[in-house]
Structure 1
Amino acid sequence: MKASVKRSAIFASAAALLVTAIGATGGAGAVAPADEDGELKFGYVLPETGQLAFLGPPQIEALKFAIQTMNDAGGVLGEPVPPAVGGDEAGQEAVAAQSADRVLAAGVDVIIGAAASGMSLAFIDRVTGEGVVQCSGSNTAPTFTDYDDGGFYFRTAPSDVLQAPVLAKLIRGDGHNRVALIGRADDYGKGLVDSTKKELEDSGATVTLAETYDPKSTNFDQIVQKVKDSNPDAVAVIAFEEGAQILQTLIETGLGPQQIGVYGADGLRSEELPSLVAPGNPQRLAGMKGTAPASASNAQFVKDLKEFAPKLKELQFAPQVFDCATTVALAAEQAKSDNPQDFAKEMVGITKGGEKCNTFAACKKLIAAGKDIDYDGVSGPLDFTDKGEPGQATIEVYAYDSQGKLQTVRTEVSTSQG
């Protein structure tokens, strides 16, 4: 059960006293950060190791780039933004929660992350219960929309409720009528499977199978056999790293992209996927398609980020993390406070309804002039709903060409109906 604990600053002479972080597993202690010390402090819990480690570098570098951008514009609230305090989510709930505790103990005002929905769910109560803002650039599980977070959780990645219509439209547009859906047995997998199933059935398709699997399994023969037995003309795999093994098994079973439609989502969008599925023969994945929140459509941002981090290869969710950090900083400027209890209230309003601006520097000037702003991010217009998430999303349709190279086919805008 979530403990509703708000941040408090307890000072004794020159030292801050330790307070108990109620609601943390095992009753771990943490240093209570000051309500307002004039300095906006970022932390992150992102994958430096584990099955989503390929998503770590773009998100971490995007956060660092955002902080540099803020400092180049004079900082936040007139003070430089210090380097972010990092923690590894590692693809393990226990490790992610421990990392969040350590980052919280450093006195941060906001935590960026986690990358995976399941990892965020492992520590969201710790963070929001302490009255610290959490913003993820890649959590897509529908679970978060109505989560009891006290108004402290936000995301710049769209809910899978927005991705599912584009995925279903892609599958149906390719002429498929009998579709098998398999996904990880976690909030991400179940959420996208359920949402896509509804969209497919609403369009008149038959969903021959909609089932989840244990992502920690070492053998996926059983779930692939269920796919085969359902006699589909297309299969969509909602997976992370384990998806390479599932795709390999599908191909070996005669259910590869040359035989039926094979589709994925954001968890499988990787330039390395073909070589993981078929080492030495990446063409075996030719024809596979999928959808993901668009990450590379902003050419100027991509150019600037690559100049900042020349070794960066993967870009997925980098724009969304940059927007998380920038939105937080602008909310602090709007609130004239680095206290999360103050700036969390400004996070929604600065993304819609005011004078448009698309950089931290430009938006900061408008705020200083007393203007109401509408920050359009590098990932696109955010237009947060009252739930603290995008009300519309730009979704990329990707495909692997005849040589197994990842290509962006097009992008589509998907809008919430709620």
Structure 2
Amino acid sequence: MKASIRRSAIFTSAAALVIAVCGATGTASSAVPAEPGDGELQFGSVLPETGQLAYLGPPQIESLKFAIKTINDAGGVLGKPVPTVVSSDEAGQEAVAVQSADRVLAAGVDAVVGAAASGMSLAFIDRVTGAGVVQCSGSNTAPTFTDYEDDGFYFRTVPSDALQGPILADVVRADGHDRVAVIARADDYGRGLMETTRKTLEDRGATVTLAETYDPKATNFDQVVQKVKNSGPDAAVVIAFEEGTQILQGMIESGLGPDRIGVYGADGLRSEELASLVSPGDPGRLSGMKGTAPASAENEKYINDLKKFAPQLKELQFAPQVFDCATTIALAAEQAESDDPGDFVEEMNGITKDGDKCTTFAACKELIADGKDIDYDGVSGPLDFTDKGEPGQATIEVYGYDAKGQLQTLRTETSEAQE
């Protein structure tokens, strides 16, 4: 069924749904649903204001607002300014994320940015794409999404962990470790990254002494730490979110800190504050820990402009990718000459490759007006979407913590999707 027809089918109940979910976490900025294809591109978002990924909320939320300001400063989309985002909280809880998505959809949005966590997106992706609404995440890295049945309405500007895992494994092996324990949170993000990392480690000749998931909602991780210790590794990979703080504390107390074995993390642990959270009195105890995360292009202008727009921001992780979600959607609408997602979804992949290069909404919009095919290179780097609606190449940052526990970028490496 054509997406615009599906949207029309659900539109008549949208106003009632706004009322039905008015008690949901977060606030929707529009109580009256917009009509699909009304000439006004309406964004919604489901991003973390509370919960385990709350630290990733501010950079993504502010970057989305900044993207819309940038779009409007260039004349808006289809000759109209883009309205304020209809926003709601993913909260780190599937039930709340689903309710938030319903609330945003009820406002008649054309596109949803989010969720931040792969598990939260998986909780409501069928609702969004099933309604013929475009969804774009700047931080969903689970490999699950590559082949997910989404009718072509789901996109991400961050690479799959199928591209990050091999780099993470190579970093561990390059440091000379032969016996590696891998533990991960029991969700799609954790399982997907654990599996690609484990496979690459074994392909590179390492012995994986332990590959096991844990309940991220547990209050005590002593058993997990003990399993790592009992496996006798010379390195451990911890794939976690905020609960990783407790795991790392337990590892240090059990003689498994970075001064004893190799300790590695991934994007979920990459934080300026990790060392001080793990060891408040002596952040240097995390010295030597390394990890990997999707990197952004060295875009000094974007970073400076975002910090001027939102000077309170401390963390910037995934902010560029969210900016690119919004810009890509807006350019697709310009290319399609329609704000109906059933129309502009067809342009999402094409505008990121095989055309005249442009790096800003204003420049790309001008090329479109001149009848040119565009290749939008975002603030996070070249996008070059595959047919699956995701980057086919990834630049991965290798990060580490120095003697004072300060986060540093050690280098970047490139990983490409296998055909």
The normalised TM-score by structure 2 is: 0.94
> Do the aligned partners of residues 36 and 4 (structure 1) sit closer, same or farther apart at CA in structure 2, a change above 3 Å counting?
closer
Per-residue CA deviations over 1:238-266 (Å, capped at 9, x if unaligned) read 00000000000000010000000000000
Aligned residues: 407
List structure 1 segments (4+ residues) > 4 angstroms apart after TM superposition: 19-22, 30-33
Shift of 1:407: 0.7
Residue type matched to 1:69 in 2?
T
Residue type matched to 1:35 in 2?
P
CA distance in 1, matches of 2:404, 2:172: 22
Per-residue CA deviations over 1:326-367 (Å, capped at 9, x if unaligned) read 000000001000000111111000011111111101110111
SS at match of 1:139: coil
Name the counterpart of 2:221.
220
Name the counterpart of 1:405.
406
Tell me, yes or no, if structure 1 residue 143 matches structure 2 residue 138: no
> Do the aligned partners of residues 156 and 243 (structure 1) sit closer, same or farther apart at CA in structure 2, a change above 3 Å counting?
same
> Do the aligned partners of residues 205 and 20 (structure 1) sit closer, same or farther apart at CA in structure 2, a change above 3 Å counting?
farther
The percent identity for this pair of structures is: 76
Kept in 2: contact 1:392–1:414 (CA 8 A): yes
CA distance in 2, matches of 1:388, 1:43: 19
Name the counterpart of 2:118.
117
Structure 2 stretches lacking a partner, 5+ long: 24-30
Name the counterpart of 1:289.
290
Kept in 2: contact 1:77–1:333 (CA 8 A): yes
CA distance in 2, matches of 1:73, 1:17: 34
Kept in 2: contact 1:17–1:32 (CA 8 A): no
Tell me, yes or no, if structure 1 residue 327 matches structure 2 residue 328: yes
SS at match of 1:135: strand
Kept in 2: contact 1:244–1:277 (CA 8 A): yes
Per-residue CA deviations over 1:267-323 (Å, capped at 9, x if unaligned) read 000111111111121111111000001147322211111111111110000000000
Tell me, yes or no, if structure 1 residue 210 matches structure 2 residue 190: no
Shift of 1:206: 1.1
Residue type matched to 1:414 in 2?
S
CA distance in 1, matches of 2:134, 2:15: 19
Kept in 2: contact 1:295–1:315 (CA 8 A): no
Within 5 Å, give how 1:98-137 maps onto structure 2: 98-137=99-138
Kept in 1: contact 2:357–2:377 (CA 8 A): yes
Name the counterpart of 2:373.
372
CA distance in 1, matches of 2:15, 2:302: 42
CA distance in 2, matches of 1:333, 1:117: 29
Residue type matched to 1:49 in 2?
T
SS at match of 1:112: strand
Residue type matched to 1:361 in 2?
A
SS at match of 2:211: strand
Residue type matched to 2:87 in 1?
G
Name the counterpart of 1:6.
6
CA distance in 1, matches of 2:366, 2:16: 38
Name the counterpart of 2:337.
336
Per-residue CA deviations over 1:89-108 (Å, capped at 9, x if unaligned) read 11100111111111111111
SS at match of 2:414: strand
Within 5 Å, give how 1:200-349 maps onto structure 2: 200-295=201-296, 297-349=298-350
CA distance in 2, matches of 1:222, 1:6: 49
Shift of 1:17: 3.8
SS at match of 1:349: coil
Kept in 1: contact 2:202–2:208 (CA 8 A): yes
CA distance in 1, matches of 2:397, 2:126: 32
CA distance in 2, matches of 1:111, 1:5: 18
SS at match of 1:149: coil
Kept in 1: contact 2:4–2:36 (CA 8 A): no
Q: Among 12, 18, 39, which residue is 2:13 paired with?
A: 18
CA distance in 2, matches of 1:351, 1:408: 27
Kept in 2: contact 1:43–1:108 (CA 8 A): yes
Structure 1 stretches lacking a partner, 5+ long: 11-15
> Do the aligned partners of residues 150 and 32 (structure 1) sit closer, same or farther apart at CA in structure 2, a change above 3 Å counting?
farther
Residue type matched to 1:112 in 2?
V
Name the counterpart of 1:381.
382
Name the counterpart of 2:176.
175
CA distance in 2, matches of 1:375, 1:21: 39
Shift of 1:18: 2.7
Shift of 1:374: 0.6
Kept in 2: contact 1:221–1:249 (CA 8 A): yes
Shift of 1:113: 0.3
Name the counterpart of 1:13.
none
Residue type matched to 2:404 in 1?
Q
Shift of 1:20: 9.5
Shift of 1:175: 0.8
Name the counterpart of 1:160.
161
Residue type matched to 1:338 in 2?
D
Kept in 2: contact 1:18–1:32 (CA 8 A): no
